[in-house]
Amino acid sequence: MRFELAYQALAPQLRVIAPWREWSIKSREDALKYARSRHVPVPVSKDELYSRDQNLWHLSHEGGPLETKLGEPPDGAWKLTRKPQEAPAREAEVTLGFEAGVPVSINGKRFAPVRLVETLNALGGLHGVGRTDLVENRLVGIKSHGAYETPAGTLIMLAHQELESLCLDRETYHYKQHVALRYAELLYYGQWFTPLREALDNFVEATQGNVSGTVKMGLCKGNLRILDRHSPNSLYDSSIGSFVMNPDYNQKDAEGFINILGLPLRLAAAKRAARK
C-alpha cells in the first residue's frame, strides 16, 4: 500500500504488477514452497517464518510465532538488540548534541547523519535498548502482533523530547505533541506525498530553530534514563521555577488566577445545589 501510494503520487501512469494479489500464494508456507521449487534463495525457513523489514532506522518482526502467541517474542526473534539480562551490567553514558532539532554529535564528536544512527544502533543494541513489543491497529482495521527494534531511534527520540521540553514554550510543545500523532498516522497510512504532510513539515521546522543543546543519557540492561540536559536556548529559569519567590512572581496573584479558572466550576456547583 505505501509503495503503491507513492507510485500513484509520482508516476500515476505506471501499471503496478503485484504477484501477491495475482498468484495463488496464500501464506508464507506457500511462498517458501514456490521458492524451493524454483531454487530461489530466501532468508526464511519453516523454523523462522517471520516477516522482517529492515532499514537504517529499524528492524520489524511479524508473522511466525508472533501470530499465535501474544506474549513476549522468542529470544531468537531479536536481531539488533541484546537480551537485557545478557547486556553489560555497567551503565554506559552517552551525550547527544543537537542543532536546530537535528542530532549532530555523540559525546562531543560530530557525525554525519547515517554514521550517527549506525553508531547509536550499535550502542543501544549492545545494552538491550530499543525493543518494542505491541499489538497494533493496521490501516484495514486488523490487529497485528509485531516486534520492533529501534536502538538509535529510541535514544534520539528521548533526547530530542527532553531538549524540546527545555526550549519550546508550553503551548507550542503541547500542540506539537498532537501534530506528532497525526504525522505518524500519515506515514503509517502511506500518505507521505500529500499536501498535509508538507504543511506539517513546515510547522515542525518552524518549531525547531531553538532546539539546540545536549542531553546526557544512561543505558543499562534495556533501561534508558536522562542524566543531564543543557541548552543555550533553555526557557527554564531557576529564579522563577524554584520554590523561592522573586520579584517576577507574586504569589498573591494566584488568588485572582484561581478564581477566574474556577468560575465555571463554581457556577456548575451552584446549579447542582439549586436542583436539590
Confidence grade of residue 50 (pLDDT, cut at 50, 70, 90): confident
Residue 174: the pLDDT is 97
202-242 residue pLDDT tens: 999 999 999 999 999 999 999 999 999 999 999 998 776 66
78-109 residue pLDDT tens: 999 999 999 999 999 999 999 999 999 999 99
The average confidence (pLDDT) of the chain is 92
Confidence grade of residue 27 (pLDDT, cut at 50, 70, 90): confident
Q: Residue ranges per domain, the chain?
A: 1-47, 51-168+210-236
Residue 243: the pLDDT is 64
Mean pLDDT of 131-139: 93
Residues in Cβ contact with 58 at an 8 Å cutoff, skipping those fewer than 6 apart = 148, 149, 150, 153
Residue 48: the pLDDT is 73
Nearest in space to 107 (alpha carbons), one of 125, 120, 118: 120
Q: Between these two residues, 33 and 203, which has the higher pLDDT value?
A: 203
140-154 residue pLDDT tens: 899 999 999 999 999
- Phi first, then psi: what are they for 78, rounded to 5°? -80, 140
In the DSSP assignment, the letter for residue 15 is P
Q: How many CA atoms lie within 13 A of 185 on its CB side?
A: 10
Cell numbers at residue 117, please?
A: 544512527
Cell numbers at residue 103, please?
A: 542530532
- Predicted model pTM: 0.86
Q: Class for domain 51-168+210-236, per CATH? A: alpha beta
H or E element: which one contains 97? strand 92-99
